[in-house]
Amino acid sequence: MLLLFPLPFVSPRTVQQLRGEAAVIELRHLRYLVAVAEELNFTRAAERIHIDQTPLSRAVRDLEAELGVKLFVRAPRHLALPPAGAQLLQETRKLFIRFERAKCAVRRTSALYQPPLRIGVADGISQPRLAECLAGWQALAPAVPLELSEMPSKRANSYSFRSVC
Protein backbone atom coordinates (compact mmCIF):
# COMPACT_ATOMS: atom_id res chain seq x y z
CA MET A 1 0.00 0.00 0.00
CA LEU A 2 1.35 3.43 -1.03
CA LEU A 3 0.58 6.42 1.16
CA LEU A 4 0.92 9.89 -0.31
CA PHE A 5 1.37 12.89 1.91
CA PRO A 6 1.00 16.43 0.64
CA LEU A 7 4.35 18.14 0.43
CA PRO A 8 4.66 21.58 2.00
CA PHE A 9 5.34 24.53 -0.29
CA VAL A 10 9.06 25.09 -0.68
CA SER A 11 10.13 28.56 -1.76
CA PRO A 12 12.75 29.04 -4.51
CA ARG A 13 15.04 30.58 -1.88
CA THR A 14 14.81 27.42 0.25
CA VAL A 15 15.62 25.30 -2.80
CA GLN A 16 18.67 27.51 -3.45
CA GLN A 17 19.81 27.06 0.14
CA LEU A 18 19.28 23.28 0.02
CA ARG A 19 21.32 23.06 -3.16
CA GLY A 20 24.04 25.26 -1.70
CA GLU A 21 23.57 27.83 -4.46
CA ALA A 22 24.51 31.46 -4.03
CA ALA A 23 21.60 33.78 -3.43
CA VAL A 24 20.67 36.45 -5.94
CA ILE A 25 20.15 39.96 -4.66
CA GLU A 26 18.38 42.29 -7.03
CA LEU A 27 19.72 45.80 -7.62
CA ARG A 28 16.28 47.27 -7.07
CA HIS A 29 16.22 45.81 -3.56
CA LEU A 30 19.51 47.53 -2.86
CA ARG A 31 18.10 50.79 -4.25
CA TYR A 32 15.16 50.37 -1.91
CA LEU A 33 17.55 49.80 0.99
CA VAL A 34 19.38 53.04 0.22
CA ALA A 35 16.14 55.02 0.07
CA VAL A 36 14.86 53.63 3.38
CA ALA A 37 18.25 54.10 5.07
CA GLU A 38 18.49 57.71 3.90
CA GLU A 39 14.91 58.58 4.82
CA LEU A 40 14.72 56.37 7.94
CA ASN A 41 11.04 56.15 7.13
CA PHE A 42 9.29 53.59 4.94
CA THR A 43 6.50 55.96 3.88
CA ARG A 44 8.84 58.74 2.72
CA ALA A 45 11.15 56.22 1.06
CA ALA A 46 8.24 54.68 -0.84
CA GLU A 47 7.14 58.13 -2.04
CA ARG A 48 10.70 58.98 -3.05
CA ILE A 49 11.11 55.89 -5.24
CA HIS A 50 7.52 55.95 -6.47
CA ILE A 51 6.28 52.61 -5.20
CA ASP A 52 3.73 51.55 -2.63
CA GLN A 53 4.94 51.04 0.94
CA THR A 54 3.87 47.37 1.06
CA PRO A 55 6.20 46.08 -1.71
CA LEU A 56 8.99 48.26 -0.30
CA SER A 57 8.60 46.72 3.16
CA ARG A 58 8.40 43.24 1.64
CA ALA A 59 11.56 43.81 -0.42
CA VAL A 60 13.49 44.96 2.67
CA ARG A 61 12.23 41.93 4.65
CA ASP A 62 13.28 39.66 1.76
CA LEU A 63 16.71 41.25 1.72
CA GLU A 64 17.03 40.77 5.47
CA ALA A 65 15.97 37.12 5.11
CA GLU A 66 18.42 36.62 2.24
CA LEU A 67 21.32 38.01 4.26
CA GLY A 68 20.20 36.56 7.58
CA VAL A 69 20.59 39.88 9.42
CA LYS A 70 18.37 42.73 10.58
CA LEU A 71 19.10 45.78 8.44
CA PHE A 72 16.81 48.09 10.40
CA VAL A 73 15.77 48.40 14.02
CA ARG A 74 12.04 48.98 13.93
CA ALA A 75 10.21 50.68 16.77
CA PRO A 76 6.88 52.49 16.81
CA ARG A 77 7.41 55.72 14.86
CA HIS A 78 11.17 55.16 14.78
CA LEU A 79 13.55 53.43 12.40
CA ALA A 80 17.31 53.10 12.93
CA LEU A 81 20.24 51.46 11.18
CA PRO A 82 22.15 48.85 13.18
CA PRO A 83 25.83 48.28 12.33
CA ALA A 84 24.98 45.56 9.76
CA GLY A 85 22.56 47.91 7.99
CA ALA A 86 25.08 50.75 8.02
CA GLN A 87 27.74 48.44 6.57
CA LEU A 88 25.44 47.23 3.80
CA LEU A 89 24.46 50.83 3.01
CA GLN A 90 28.14 51.78 2.68
CA GLU A 91 28.93 48.75 0.50
CA THR A 92 25.81 49.32 -1.62
CA ARG A 93 26.82 52.91 -2.34
CA LYS A 94 30.26 51.70 -3.44
CA LEU A 95 28.61 49.04 -5.60
CA PHE A 96 26.39 51.61 -7.33
CA ILE A 97 29.38 53.87 -8.00
CA ARG A 98 31.24 50.94 -9.58
CA PHE A 99 28.14 49.97 -11.55
CA GLU A 100 27.78 53.53 -12.94
CA ARG A 101 31.47 53.57 -13.86
CA ALA A 102 31.07 50.24 -15.65
CA LYS A 103 28.05 51.56 -17.60
CA CYS A 104 30.05 54.63 -18.65
CA ALA A 105 33.02 52.50 -19.70
CA VAL A 106 30.81 50.21 -21.78
CA ARG A 107 29.15 53.18 -23.48
CA ARG A 108 32.53 54.78 -24.21
CA THR A 109 33.80 51.52 -25.65
CA SER A 110 30.70 51.11 -27.75
CA ALA A 111 31.02 54.67 -29.06
CA LEU A 112 34.62 53.99 -30.08
CA TYR A 113 33.67 50.96 -32.15
CA GLN A 114 30.62 52.23 -33.96
CA PRO A 115 30.76 51.59 -37.70
CA PRO A 116 32.57 52.61 -39.68
CA LEU A 117 35.94 52.75 -38.01
CA ARG A 118 37.91 55.50 -39.73
CA ILE A 119 41.66 55.04 -39.79
CA GLY A 120 44.19 57.57 -41.00
CA VAL A 121 47.23 55.80 -42.38
CA ALA A 122 50.56 57.63 -42.61
CA ASP A 123 52.07 57.32 -46.04
CA GLY A 124 55.27 55.91 -44.57
CA ILE A 125 53.76 52.89 -42.78
CA SER A 126 55.01 49.50 -43.89
CA GLN A 127 52.45 47.49 -45.85
CA PRO A 128 53.01 44.17 -43.99
CA ARG A 129 52.45 45.88 -40.62
CA LEU A 130 49.28 47.58 -41.91
CA ALA A 131 47.96 44.31 -43.33
CA GLU A 132 48.65 42.55 -40.00
CA CYS A 133 46.86 45.28 -38.08
CA LEU A 134 43.81 45.24 -40.37
CA ALA A 135 43.59 41.43 -40.25
CA GLY A 136 43.71 41.59 -36.44
CA TRP A 137 40.90 44.12 -36.40
CA GLN A 138 38.83 42.06 -38.82
CA ALA A 139 39.19 39.05 -36.52
CA LEU A 140 38.23 41.15 -33.49
CA ALA A 141 35.20 42.91 -35.00
CA PRO A 142 34.23 41.49 -38.38
CA ALA A 143 30.91 43.36 -38.47
CA VAL A 144 32.54 46.79 -38.23
CA PRO A 145 33.58 48.16 -41.62
CA LEU A 146 36.85 50.03 -41.96
CA GLU A 147 37.50 53.27 -43.84
CA LEU A 148 41.14 53.94 -44.61
CA SER A 149 42.44 57.40 -45.46
CA GLU A 150 46.00 58.09 -46.47
CA MET A 151 47.56 60.98 -44.61
CA PRO A 152 50.85 62.75 -45.19
CA SER A 153 53.40 61.96 -42.48
CA LYS A 154 53.52 65.60 -41.31
CA ARG A 155 49.75 65.66 -40.74
CA ALA A 156 49.73 62.22 -39.05
CA ASN A 157 52.47 63.34 -36.65
CA SER A 158 50.32 66.29 -35.49
CA TYR A 159 47.69 63.88 -34.09
CA SER A 160 48.18 62.24 -30.74
CA PHE A 161 47.16 58.61 -30.90
CA ARG A 162 48.33 55.23 -29.78
CA SER A 163 48.93 52.13 -31.78
CA VAL A 164 46.14 49.59 -31.55
CA CYS A 165 48.12 46.81 -33.19
What's the rounded Cα separation, in Å, for the pair 115 and 146? Answer: 8
Mean pLDDT of the chain: 82
Banded pLDDT at 89 (limits 50, 70, 90): very high
> Do 55 and 84 lie in a common domain?
yes
> Do 68 and 130 lie in a common domain?
no
> Do 149 and 105 lie in a common domain?
no
- pTM score: 0.59
Banded pLDDT at 31 (limits 50, 70, 90): very high
> What is the residue range of 58's domain?
12-110
What's the rounded Cα separation, in Å, for the pair 85 and 30? Answer: 11
- pLDDT at residue 7 greater than cutoff 50: no
pLDDT of 149 reads 82
> Do 37 and 87 lie in a common domain?
yes
> Do 77 and 105 lie in a common domain?
yes
Could you tell me which of 42, 75, 68 has the C-alpha nearest to residue 57?
A: 42
pLDDT of 158 reads 57
Is 132 contained in some domain? yes
> What is the pairing mode between strands 73-75 and 78-80?
antiparallel
Among the three residues 93, 110, 127, which one is the final residue of a domain in this structure?
A: 110
pLDDT of 155 reads 59
